Amino acid sequence: MATLRAPGGPGGAGESGQVTPVGGPGGGLYLPPPGAGVSGARSVRRMTRAIRSNGKASVGTGMLALFCLVALFPGVIAHDNPSAEIYGRALGPSAQHLLGTTAFGQDIFAQVIYGTRPVLLIALGVGLSATVIAMLIGVAAAYLGGAWDGVLSLITDVLLVIPAFPLLIVIASYLHGASTAVLIAVVTAVSWSYTARQLRAQALSLRNRDFLEAARVRGERSLYIILVEIIPTMTSLLMASFLTNALYAVLFSSGLQFIGLGNPNTVSWGTMLYWAENNEAFQTGQALWIIVPGLCIVALGAAFALLNYAFDEIGNPALRPVKSMRRKRVLPR
């Protein structure tokens, strides 16, 4: 993987020195040679260095950290009760109500701040649970092989091609007002399949490698081999899976809530959009009621996407941005 060269001019971008090197050869997030036994502390240090030297990764991490803080301590930032319908209706922005009030007389700023927690919970919950399910099913299919592989892969493939969002809508329509926990479960159920397929492919490519054979000869149990030998080689794939699933969870759940299939009494960005749209917020001059929750969804989604993109670049140097190829090309070699 380290020999992958950036295309374009002779010399390749990787050696040009204009690209911030990510920790030198082997120092980036390249998959370590399987079985090399990278210690936990060192890989965390590498990860930190990689994140800090990649602009996209730093921005993404910063944004995500900010959202986490807001979700943990909403009361510190917003002092109003987000659900209380106690203020004047449809007020414009003012010092008391930074973003104005809703058509029901709730403080929009407080709603945005308190709405962070459910969205973040759904994103992290789905990212984590979808990745774990995908890991179990994907690795089990590859490792067990034979009929097990056939059945598990078939389930994965079938779920993969059934369109996820319509399926979500149909499931949610029977539930009549899905709470945050239910949303996590439902979104996870429709979205783990893509990762499972990727992880199965990765695990398959490892199946006949010597370090696994060595573990088998040593007499290790299957569970030990899967957990200690196979899964650590998939760190970057698992990371990508977590980020992608978290991103889709934000979009899917907000979409469902916007349609009105979430629990309309939860304060979250999607339900805010639902109530705003139903009260014709644009026509009544309450544009901020729609603009701000939407911007928050975009920002949170962007944080996950930037991180994902950055990890891609760290793992595949050919995709890193190239500063001035054209000047390089005319240089004599």
Residues binding another protein (CB under 8 A): 5-8, 154, 157-158, 161-163, 165-167, 169-171, 173-176, 247, 251, 254-255, 258-261, 273, 277, 282-283, 287, 290-291, 294, 297-298, 301-302, 304-306, 309, 318-319, 321-326
Q: How far is CA 256 from CA 58, 219, 263, in A?
A: 31, 49, 10
- Are the C-beta atoms of residues 200 and 141 closer than 8 Å to each other? yes
Residue 23 backbone phi and psi in degrees, to 5: 75, 20
- Closest approach, Cβ 297 to another protein, in A, equals 6
- Closest approach, Cβ 121 to another protein, in A, equals 18
Contacts for 58-66: CB closer than 8 Å, 24+ residues apart: 59/303, 59/306, 60/302, 60/303, 60/304, 60/305, 60/306, 60/307, 60/310, 61/307, 63/299, 63/300, 63/302, 63/303, 63/306, 64/300, 64/303, 64/304, 64/307
- Pick the closer one to another protein by CB: 71 or 261: 261
- Pick the closer one to another protein by CB: 39 or 174: 174
Choose among 40, 116, 108: nearest CA to 73. 116
The dihedral built from the CA positions of residue 305, 306, 310 and 316, taken in this order, carries a sign that is: positive
- Closest approach, Cβ 147 to another protein, in A, equals 16
Q: In the chain, count H helices and then E strands.
A: 15, 0
- Pick the closer one to another protein by CB: 6 or 70: 6
**What distance in Å separates the CA atoms of residue 135 and residue 2, rounded to the nearest whole number?**
26
- Closest approach, Cβ 278 to another protein, in A, equals 11
- Closest approach, Cβ 310 to another protein, in A, equals 10
- Pick the closer one to another protein by CB: 31 or 160: 160
- Pick the closer one to another protein by CB: 39 or 324: 324
- Pick the closer one to another protein by CB: 84 or 158: 158
- Closest approach, Cβ 277 to another protein, in A, equals 7
